[in-house]
Amino acid sequence: MAESILEVQGLRKRFGALTVTDDVSFAVAPGGIHAVIGPNGAGKTTLIHQLSGTLRPDAGSIRFAGQEVTGMGLARRARLGLARSFQITCVLPGFSVLENAALAVQARSGSSFRFLRAAADERALNEEAMAALDAVGLGARAAALAGALSHGEKRQLELAIALAMQPRLLLLDEPLAGAGPEETERLIGILRGLKRSYTILLVEHDMQAVFALAHRISVLVYGKVIATDTPDAIRADPAVRAAYLGEDEVA
């Protein structure tokens, strides 16, 4: 197996008496989609906050691309190539769709302590931003205000912003959350396309989507990773079925 892009070792997080992340260890290999699933309250959101740098773990370590990042914040990890999307849509509503993506391009191409030239006129930034929008099928909406997009389009924009960062790892926090059936279809199609060129850690509630997309799945229950394996093995794992899928359900 190739060297892992993300390595989590003995991660712990407590809120008072409640242990939300309990000695979590797993590794994400480059390429494809590694999914993290778990029932409500399993600690998925807390985990993703620790991975992206918005929450400090009490113990344990996170290595990203061979570098210790446990003490780094969101912005520094982003500069290293760890892009995350948000469960609750997090875009700049007063900016155009193109500018939302262009800001992400700007973050990785040269200094932003430049004061004279209009950023909106920088061709290189706009072209790369446009490419990211096209990759998620949002190119036609480039000039619209991000605040005026539909919910599904905002989810697409979240993805486009993450892609515009040219990340080494995409951390997607429930990208299908709140999307209708048609939008879900479209987003799954986009993710299927992306997994060919990106390494993705997908935290998702939608079982069907996860089993259709992921080549590896970690199951989180009460803050513990109880299994990490291929989708078929996960489906067959009795512990997983007992804890999560339900005794009688054959997914």
- Contact residues for other proteins (CB under 8 A)? 52, 54, 73-76, 78-79, 83-84, 86, 90-95, 99, 103-104, 106-108, 111-120, 122, 161, 164-165
Instruction: Report the run of H or E that residue 97 belongs to, with start and end.
Output: helix 97-108
Q: How far is the CB of 160 from other proteins (least distance, A)?
A: 12
CB nearer to other proteins: give 93 or 180. Answer: 93
Nearer to other proteins, 122 or 237 (CB): 122
Closest CB 35 distance from other proteins, rounded Å: 21
User: Which residues on neighbouring strands pair with residue 21, listed in sequence order?
Assistant: 13
Question: What single-letter DSSP state applies at residue 114?
Answer: -
Q: Are 36 and 213 contacting, i.e. CB atoms less than 8 angstroms apart?
A: no
Instruction: Report the residue number, 24 or 125, with the smaller CB distance to other proteins.
Output: 125
Q: Which is nearer to other proteins, 6 or 210 (by Cβ)? A: 6
Give the long-range contacts of residues 213-217, CB within 8 A, separation 24 or more.
213/33, 213/35, 213/188, 214/32, 214/33, 214/34, 214/35, 215/32, 215/33, 215/34, 216/29, 216/32, 216/33, 216/34, 216/35, 217/34, 217/35, 217/36, 217/37
CB of 94 to other proteins, least distance (A): 6
Min separation Cβ 247 and other proteins, Å: 40
In which element (H, E) is residue 32 found? strand 32-37
Q: Shortest approach of other proteins to residue 118 CB, angstroms?
A: 4
* Whole-number Å distance between alpha carbons of 242 and 61: 30
Nearer to other proteins, 76 or 192 (CB): 76
Burial 211-222 (b: 16+ CB within 10 A, else e): bebbebbbbbbe
Nearest approach in angstroms of CB 231 to other proteins is 29
Looking at the Cβ atoms of 107 and 177, the one nearer to other proteins is 107
